[in-house]
Structure 1
């Protein structure tokens, strides 16, 4: 293959690359908004509101960044 052949194929290769990226994007969007994963994503989004961890935190002594107990 010489340089002129590669230059002739360049628009075709760019078209295939664009199509592949479009399909990849559509697949990621389909995966992210699929109904099967909605429950998992909702649980992850609401995990910061779990009271279990908050109760455990309250029961134990609070510690500062160095690990010493706060009073």
Structure 2
């Protein structure tokens, strides 16, 4: 194969590359919006609130009064 043959195949290779990327994009979109993934995505989205719920329920360290001084 010489350079002229590769230059002749270049438009066809670009077309295959574009088609492959389109199929990959469609696959990712279908995967992201599938109903099987909804639960795990919801869990991940709400995970930032888990630490706040745990912190409200239990106190660590010493208790402080309104002024910030430690109670005994």
Scaled to the shorter chain, the TM-score interval is: 0.7 to 0.9
Structure with greater Cα Rg: 2
Instruction: Give ranges in structure 2 of 5+ residues lacking alignment.
Output: 62-69
Shift of 1:49: 1.6
Shift of 1:55: 3.7
TM-score norm. by structure 1 comes to 0.74
Cα distance in 2 for partners of 1:47, 1:55 equals 15
TM-score norm. by structure 2 comes to 0.73
Provide the aligned length of Structure 1 versus Structure 2. Answer: 60
Cα distance in 1 for partners of 2:16, 2:48 equals 43
Is 1:45 the counterpart of 2:48? The answer is no
Shift of 1:48: 1.4
Quote the RMSD (CA, aligned, Å): 1.7
Is 1:29 the counterpart of 2:29? The answer is yes
